Amino acid sequence: DRTLVEGGPGWCFTVDRPPERFGVNKRTNCLLVLDRDLARENTIGNGRINVLEERDWASDELEYEPTETITPSTVRVPLLGRGSNRNTVQPAVPVVEIVARS
């Protein structure tokens, strides 16, 4: 009945993996939970979903703070490389520190 999407709030894309496996990428601006029917009705091609009309962009005040902050118990940071071109690009090295929460 609901689907998880990332990107948006204009164009967004369905997250095609379980939420616990989600990791941010260059197109992640926000994470939304949408009604599946609403997402289907607003799919515009190439996997893009647009639930925000053009007029809605101009009428809103700019937001400078998140509307809600989440505190996940774990965070997955994907390490990117070039797959089969391992000779061209060195494997990525994490640049974040993992700190255990108490």
Q: Quick: pLDDT tens for 9-49.
A: 678 889 888 887 887 776 677 888 889 999 999 998 888 89
Q: Quick: pLDDT tens for 52-96.
A: 765 555 656 666 777 777 777 776 666 665 555 555 556 666 666
Q: Model's pTM, two decimal places?
A: 0.54
Residue 9 has a pLDDT of 66
Angstrom distance (rounded) from CA 22 to CA 97: 19
Q: Strand ranges (DSSP E) for the chain?
A: 2-7, 11-14, 30-35, 43-45, 48-50
Residue 100 has a pLDDT of 67
Q: Is 19 helix (H, G, I), strand (E, B) or coil?
A: helix
Nearest to 10 by CA among 60, 57, 47: 57
Residue 36 has a pLDDT of 92
Reply yes or no on whether the pLDDT at 97 is more than 80. no
